[in-house]
Structure formats: structure tokens, C-alpha cells
Structure 1
Amino acid sequence: MKKFFKNLFVLVVISLLVNSCYKDRFSTDKIAGGEWNPDLAAPLIKSKLTMAQIIENSSEIWSENPDGLLSLTYRQKDSSQNSLNVVTIPDQFIDSNFRIVLPSGMIPNDSTYRIFNLDANIVGSNGELVDSIFVKHGSLDFEITTNINHESTVQIIIPELTRYGVTFIQNIKIPSAGGASHTVLASFPLNLYTARFQHPNGNDNKLSEFVKVMVKFGPHPDNSPYNMYVKQSVRNVTYYNAYGYFGQYNFNIDQGSLGMSLFDNSTIDQIFLEDPKLHLKFYNSFGLPIKINMDELYVEKDGIKKNFISTLLSNLVIGAATSQKTFDTTVFTFDKSNSNIVDIFNFQPTKMVFKESCTTNPAGGINNNFVFDNSKVYVDAEIELPMYGRTLNFTLKDSGDLNIEKVAGVKSAELRFNLSNMFPADAYVQFYLADSNYVILDSLLPYNEQLLISALVGPPPEYRTYSPLNKTTVVVLSGDKLNTLFNSKKIIFAAKLSTSEQGQKVVKIYSDYGIDIKLALKLNYLSDF
């Protein structure tokens, strides 16, 4: 956190203007002469520097429990590849050879046909048993080579391949080549077709197909038997959804890196937290269970790494989604009861790195799975840091504008500081005068007036403070210090906090904690008459 407090209090700008001469107010010819010592006082600051204002103005993500206890949260969300890059349908190649004998006695314009039955086996890349596929893209390609010397048509019929309920039936015309072997190519898009498979042997994906060869006898002689070679290929298939059992795939979730600015702040020497937590929330839209393997889970500071140790790491299994557009949500919480997280965060790291890989169907066996084209695994890593612990040397700072116009005849300025501390921490406070570039010109409080005692802390488990400690200090400025006050354009407030008992006592920080700041200015000036 480069600046822990931002715009926490408003400075009241005061401009003191004296435009008339005091002699003009009186009949100076009737007064022999002398000195007049009027005083002019005005409030300069009246504000409360509170934790609630930190929440409102901070760029960090804060949360507040119903009782007001504050927590700082860091979150990073990452995702896996979608299912089209995980569960893939490899290209299929099916070769068939048919022997065709025409009936004897055919004359020109006579027709005949033969029907051949194919049980195409679709082979997956991972031992899948596919029940159905709703195809998004893909093609069914044919290369047919034959020596039939009559016009013929090959009709492809696949009963369990349907589009809007209509069976796939396509005709491929093969002209006569006078007896020479010749080849015909054809391609059919499979977009929006649904294929349904059978498993007659328990470990196969059968799709019945019928090849109907129709021959129209022409002027050429009957040279039976004829040969027909049919090469089929199913290419570039993607899907809207697929159902079946898809075996054990391995895939990765993007590596995440989560910065923690609380520990990346030069104003913080030490912070000790009592109850930090790490929540790993997994959202699975695959219709199959997944084991999460934490390949990397560590924190880092200044190039030094510290690994998480937890009993949870060996058993991170997330459930399957139950339908499209739903997620199974599984949350694993690492806390001080199951991990070394207290040591992790009292190491005061500046970032956490996490990298996961996934294994589908980790228990094996045959399960009912499904995937959609947009199925993914998401991980939401959330670090929760309740403001419950011990702190040492924790500095709060803020600044504001200052504009006090110099008045002729002023001999001194009296600054009255009235401070009230509701924090469970002693504070060494100081106000600084600075120019418009925040270059410090002077400090206002002497050393022996800087200590602001902490409020009293109540018993556990709340550890709430009560009875804030008040302190009033009067500082008189004259000479060079007075000129510095008039020349200053900024006022800076700083409080260096240390929890009571030298940071050894456990405390909690609530949203209503703060430091009340009241600062009044009194100008004393001398006027001759």
C-alpha cells in the first residue's frame, strides 16, 4: 500500500485578512498613545481520522463483519482451458472395400443395387465411451475409387446421425469411366448433427452406417465382379455438447499471482496476524469430477519463497456440474487449524503464486459425464486478513492544504492541539509544515508531547476499546517558526502506532476506531496607538 490512508481528513482553510487600520476606529487625536494587544482565534482542523474512512477511500478491498471487525481481502480469478481444448474428438479414418456383382441378363437402362452394412467405430484419444455428440463444426469426407463401367450412385445412410430429427442420407454420383478405375471426392458438413453411439462390446463407440450402391446399366458390357474402395474421414469435429464417459484427462489452470500491498509498504515495519485465511473457490462447469493438483502454492518476499503446508493439499477434489450453465462450487479454506498459514503471512510476503493442474474422473470407473463447448474450471483465490493480531511500528499519514495569510503586527501564534485516541495502540503523532511540493519545513509538536496513549482494551473475544485517551497540547510559535507557518502551503499529519504492551497483546481493529483531531489557531499581535 503506497499510501495507507488517502484523504482521511479535511483541513479547514483559514484566511485571516485585516484590511483596516485600528487607528481608524478611534479618535486618535484624543489618545496620547500606547499599545493595544488584541487576539484573533479560529479553528484550523476539526476532523476524525477513522478506519471507516480508510475503507471508503482505500483502493484495497475491505469487508466489515456485523460487529464492525475489519478484514482486508485480496482476490485473483483464473480459469482453465475450455473443454474444446481438453476433451477433443480426434479425426477418424475408416476404409472399406466392397465387391459388387451385377445380376445376369441386364440390358441398358436396367437398374440394380447392393446394400452394405458398416459399423464404424469412433476411437477417442482417451478411451472415451461416447453416448452422443451434438456437433458444432466438422465434416464427413469420402474418397470413392471404383472400376464400375456404368453410371452409379453411392448413397450413404447413417440412421443415428440426425439433424433436427432427419436422418443423414447423402448421394454421391459416380459417372462411368468406360471400365478404367476412377475416383470421386465428396464432403458433407456435420454442423448441427447429433450422433448417437452404441457400445455392443462395452468399450467401443459404434455408429451404424449403410452404403447403398445403385448401378444403372449402360452400353458397356458387364465386367462383374467390380471393386469399390471407400475411404471415409471425419475431420475437425467440435461440439456444442457431448455425453458419455471421458476418462482421465489432464489439463492446466492458468498460473495466478496475487500481490499483497499490505506488506509492500515502507511505513509498515511489522504486522503479526492471528487468524489469516486463504479461500480457494473452484467453479466447475464440466459435467465430470476433477481432482485439483496444486503444482505451486507459495508466497514470496524479496525473492525468498515460503511454501504452503496443509493437510488439504492431497485431497482437493471438486464435484461435477449437474447441467448446462451450472457450476459445482467447492471451497477449500486454509486456516491455522489445517496449515502453516499464520507463519506464511507473518513472513509478510508481497505476493502469492498458485498454479493448478486438473485430472478428470480421478476415481476411475465408468461415470456419466458431459461437457459443453464452454465448460471450464475457474479458481477464485481469496486471501482474507482479519484485522486481528499484533502490530509494531505502523505509520499512518495524511496531508491537506494550508493557507494562512500573514497579518501585519502579529507577534506570535498559539496552536492548541486536542487529540483523542480510540485505537488500541499507542501513537507517536506529529504535525509537519510543508511547502506546495510537500517538502517539510518544520515540525510542530515537541518530542515530549508526541505520545498519544492507546484507549483501554476490553476482554476477549471482542477486544474492543473503551474510554479513549485525550491529550491537549499548546504550542506557541514566534520568530522564524511563525514565518514558517505563514509560508507553509501544506500540513502533514503522521501517527506511528504500536499496539499496547510493545505489540505483544492481541487486539482487533473495528471500523469505528479513529483519532479525533482538533487544532485551533490563535494569533497574538501588537498594534501601536
Structure 2
Amino acid sequence: MKKILALLVVVMLFGSCIKEITDTIDKATKTNGVKWSPHIALPLVYSELKVTDILEETGDLKYIRVENDGSLTAIYSDELVSKTAEDIINLTDQNYGETFNLTAGELATLNTNGQVVVSYNRTFDYVFSSDEIDKVHLKTGDIDLSISTTLQHDVSMRMILPEMKKSAIGFDETIAANYSGTLPNQSSSNIDITDYIADFTKTPQGHSQIDATIELTITKQGSNPIGALESVSFTMDLTNQGFHEVHGYFGSDDFSNGIQTLNLSVFNNSSSGSFTIADPRVKLVFENSFGVPIDANIIQFDGTNSSFNTVSLTGYPSPLPIPNLTLADIGQSKRDSFTLDKNNSNLPAYINNRPHENVYEVQVISNPSGPSVRNWFTDDSKLKLIVDIEVPLHGTAKDYEVERRQPFEFELEEADQVEEIMLRLHSENGFPVDIATQIYFEDTTTYTVLDSLLTTDLLIMPAADVDGNGRVNQINPKTIDVVFDAARTDLIMQANRVRIVARFNTTTIGGSQPDVKFYEEYQLLLQLGVQAKLLLNQEL
């Protein structure tokens, strides 16, 4: 928008003129005596402005595309990224434990032989809400083992998990509780299981279970007694789990990211008039790296202009074309897309509403059909939506009005020495657009319009002529002068804000407005000068 306002250079550069005028007056007021009325002329600006200069000042513009015929298309873009699988899937802590009561035979063997080895086979359930887990490659994790016994003898416990492997070697850890005179006899250990791969499919259930072997070795210590009822208890806690990959069935989850807003700043200050784009396009690109069926639908896509008129976009497919991935695609991502244009949607009406605020919401649900296939995720799996709004600079404008307010300050130390200030603007408009403008000087403390730059709205830059194809074939130069006498100068010195209003009309031929295109070579030449007529005193 900054460069669009550059088209209103009379106002934008007026502030830069002030310093030149003030410096000149300061020099002149150092002399006294005889009065005369010189004219001091200062060339201030020589500028060439292209269409690309205007567009590149809109902060949300992604890029400008030059088409094969040299015409221009502005691309506005927004990107919506879902939460990652790591953010959504929480591998909850798993807690296991049991107390083993030694049989009379086992205690007799210990007493006779001085040692007894007892093994137990168990199947541990992996509790994962109502979901099912098949395999997990752990990025982080710990196993906390502990044993506690009533025996006044040395006890070791070996925990074997053959389907939890690292570098093809199963988990196999031993913890020892050597009797030191205190009961209960206890010990604990923490084992890092980073990069282990646990397979929970090797039991008859086929998911969410893992087999374990627990081996107790009890070694008699001296003549310490052996009671008739002796026991060994253990706990095993699986904690702090993060994953590189996780496989299973994970139910129906909502991956939606809520309402999003895309601002088109080129429309921010438009207030009235009509504006048409011949062939706007909206392209939605979906990038998926989830190994799970996805159902996505647009819940809302509304564009609101500065007059608070809202148009809802229609024509998009339901459901949206989200690519599905198989197990062979793990770690990859796939893309699919669709494009809305004037032939399959109400997009022209949507864009011609001048929607500076575009609000959209996409609902994303996994496994919409239930457990039809097994799922997989990597820690970084996500769904990405890219919205590209393509605005070809090809269309019409009729009394299309842009308005902006900005602070203003104009001070002259020797204001009584100013008899007259004149600004001269020479333009050579290579755009097929008439530009009329008015600038109001306002006092916000009294809500008063003190003066205006021009006595009437003035066509300061006439449109260039176009041929039958809507392409510029002749530039129309124009020179205008704006004069501020002492009284008007005094008024604008009281202003603290300016309101800039510009009205645009594309070229009219035979009473009608053909669609015009903006081409890469189009440019606007601006020359601005200031002439100050001063009252000076000098003593001879």
C-alpha cells in the first residue's frame, strides 16, 4: 500500500517539500530592510515507478509472476501446518509388577544347594487408551526396575524382553539385591532404552502385548534363616517415551488447527466503487506425511471487505483431496491439489468483493471409516495446507476508492514571511488507469476538516490510451499546479492529520470499460517541484 500511495505523490512528498521551503525561508529571513517578492523554485523529485514496485510493498505478497505475454499476476499465499504426530500422540507410562511366593520345594532347594533359580513367563499389556499399538521405535525412554524381598539372602532378577531390541539384540538386564542386614531387602535400577524397537504383535492377540521372561536367582547367605513363607516382588515401569515411529491403530483424532486468517493488504483501504478481476484463481495444495486415512473438509472460507460485507467462497470439493500413504511410503510425504476459478466456483464475486480479511477453517479427522487399515506415524508426520490466491492484473476498476489517514505536522518558524507556495506535478502515466485524488487536512481535537489540497477532486494522472487488446499504446502527460496562499498555509499549519482519498478508473473506450492488463514494462514518471513566493526585508 505504501507504493500505491506513492501515486498520490502530491501529498506524500508534500512533507519532504516542507524542509526545503523552511530552509529557504530561514536563509531569507536573515536579511532585513527593503521588501520584494522573489520566486524561489526548487526541483524536488524525479521518479519512475513500475507496477512491480507497487505490488512488492504489500507485505503478504508471496511473489509476482510474469506471464508469457508479459502481463503480471500477484500471488498471495498462506500456509497452515497441523500439529505433528509427536504433539498429538502421547505414549503413556506403563507400569507392571508382581509378587512371587516361593514354593516349599524352591525353598528346600535353596537350603540344600545354596542357590535356586526360578523363571516366570509373563505377557505384559501395553495400555494405550482404546487404541492399539503394534510397534514403536523409541526416540527416548526409560525402564525403571526394582525388586523387594523378605529373604535374608542375596537375590538377583533378570528381565528379558526378546521383542524389544536394539541393534537386533533383545532387552536383557539384571538387577541385584544383596542382603546387608536390613529388611526388606531392596534394589532398583534405571535403564535407558533410547533407540530400542518394541514389537507388540508377537502374542496371539496380535497387538498391544509383549512377552517377558523373569528369572530370579537366590543365593543363600551363610546361616541366615529361611522362613516357611518367603516372597520376591518386582516392578517395571516404562516411562519418558518418545518415538521416531509408531505403528498400530490410533482411532479417530481431530488434527484441525482452528480458524486461520489470510490478509490481502492490497484491499485494506478500499472503501467504495467496483473492482473486477477477469480470471482470479485459488489453489489449495495438501501435503500429507501421516500414514493414516484422512478426511478433510472446509468448514468456512469467508472474505470480508472494509465495508464489512462478507462473501463466502463456494465450489470447493468435499471431502478435500488428501493423499493417502501406505507403509511403503513411511518417512515420505505426498501432495495433491485442486484449483478454484471462474468456471467451477464463485471466485470472481469473492475477489471482486475486495476481501482484505479472508477467514478459513479446515476440519481434519483421521480414520473416518474406523479400523480399516493399520496406521503409522513418524514423530514429524504432519498435514500441510498451502493456500495460493492468484490475482492476475487483468480487469477493470470503476470509481474504485482507496482512503488512508496518517499523522501530519507542518510548522514554519517565520510563517508570516510566506506569501505563497506552489507545487507543480508533472506526470507521464503509463498505466491504463485514471487517478483522481483529494487530500483533507484535519484537526482531530475538534473533528474539523480545515482545508483540502484541491478545491475539487482532480484527475491528476489521466490513463494511458490502450489498443483493442487493452494494451497501452500511448501515454498522456499532464502538469498541474496547486497554490497555497498565506491564509491556506495558516490553516494547514493547524492540522494534525491528513485523510488521503484516491479514486481509480480503468480506461474507457466508447462508453464501456474493456478489461485491461498490467504488463511488466508499464511505468509512471513523476516530476515534482516547489516554488515559494516570499516577503523579505533587508536594510541597505
Bin of the TM-score, shorter chain as denominator length: 0.7 to 0.9
Paired residue secondary structure (2:514): coil
Does residue 196 of the first structure (1) align with residue 198 of the second (2)? yes
Residues 1:395 and 1:295: Cα distance change in structure 2 (over 3 Å) = closer
Question: 1:133: which partner in 2?
Answer: 137
CA drift at 1:111 = 1.1
Residues 375-427 of structure 1: CA deviation (Å, up to 9, x unaligned): 33343434333333322223579999999999xx9999998765433222333
2:537 aligns with: none
Which of 233, 249, 253 is residue 250 of structure 1 equivalent to? Answer: 253
Q: How many Å apart are 1:265 and its aligned residue?
A: 0.8
Aligned match of 1:390: 396
Inter-CA distance 124–98: structure 2 relative to 1 (3 Å threshold)? same
Q: Check the 8 A contact 1:434/1:492 in 2, yes or no.
A: yes
Q: Does 1:263 align with 2:267?
A: yes
The TM-score with structure 1 as length reference comes to 0.73
Aligned position for 1:79: 81
Equivalent position SS for 1:152: strand
Distance 1:202 1:221 in 2: 41
Identify the residue that residue 159 of structure 2 maps to in structure 1. 156
Aligned equivalent of 1:318, options 313, 320, 323: 323
Could you tell me how far apart the structure 1 residues matched to 2:419 and 2:122 are? Answer: 110
One of 222, 238, 242 as aligned partner of 2:241: 238
Aligned partners of 1:79 and 1:253 also within 8 Å:
no
Q: By how many angstroms is 1:134 displaced?
A: 1.8
Retained in 2: the 8 A contact 1:456–1:468? yes
> What's 1:29 paired with?
none
Q: TM-score, normalised by structure 2?
A: 0.71
Q: Deviations along 1:53-73, whole A, 9 cap, x unmatched? A: 313544452632224544444
Is 1:211 the counterpart of 2:211? The answer is no
SS for the counterpart of 1:313 is coil
Structure 1: 5+ residue runs without aligned partners?
Answer: 22-36
Q: Percent identity?
A: 20
Larger radius of gyration: 1
Structure 2 match to 1:428: 436
CA 515–7 in structure 1, closer or farther in 2 if over 3 Å, else same: closer
Q: Write the letter of the residue equivalent to 1:111.
A: Q
CA distance in 2, matches of 1:49, 1:445: 27
Tell me which protein shows more helix as a share of its residues: 2
1:30 is aligned to: none
User: For each residue in 1:499-520, what CA deviation from the matched residue of structure 2 results, as whole angstroms up to 9, or x when unmatched?
Assistant: 2348853222334434434466
SS of residue matched to 1:85: helix
Q: Supply the distance in 2 between the matched residues of 1:238 and 1:136 (Cα, whole angstroms).
A: 5
CA drift at 1:327: 4.1
Bigger drift between 254-263 and 58-67 goes to 58-67
Between Structure 1 and Structure 2, how many residues are aligned?
501
Looking at structure 2, the residues matched to 85 and 472 of structure 1 have their Cα atoms a distance apart, in angstroms, of 63
Q: Does 1:349 pair with 2:355?
A: yes
How far is 1:450 from its partner?
Answer: 3.6
Change (3 A) 1:386 1:184: farther
Amino acid at match of 1:455: A
Candidates 115, 120, 130, aligned match of 1:111: 115
The more displaced of 418-427 and 7-16 is 7-16
Which structure 2 residue ranges, 5 or more long, are not aligned?
Answer: 32-36, 444-448, 535-540
Cα offsets for 1:210-238 (capped at 9, x unmatched): 111112235335737x655545443x442
SS at match of 1:343: helix
Please report how far the alpha carbon of residue 116 of structure 1 lies from its aligned counterpart in structure 2 after TM superposition: 1.8
Q: Give me the CA root mean square deviation.
A: 5.1
* Residue 299 of structure 1: aligned partner: 303
1:344 is paired with a residue of what secondary structure?
A: helix
- SS in structure 2 opposite 1:291? strand
> Structure 1 residue 442: deviation in Å?
5.9
In structure 1, the residue matched to 2:465 is 456
Residues 362 and 410 (structure 1 numbering): CA distance in 2 closer, same or farther, change over 3 Å?
A: closer
Letter of the 1:457 counterpart: V
Give per-residue Cα distances to partners, 1:452-504, cap 9 Å, x unaligned.
543233445xx3222123345678x6xx8488689989999975221234885
Asked whether the 8 Å contact 2:147–2:177 carries over to 1, the reply is no
Check if 1:466 corresponds to 2:473: yes
SS in 2 for 1:199: coil
Contact kept, 8 Å, 1:84 with 1:238, in 2: the verdict is no
Q: What displacement does 1:194 show?
A: 0.6
Aligned partners of 1:304 and 1:221: how far apart in 2? 88
Matched, 1:496 2:499: no
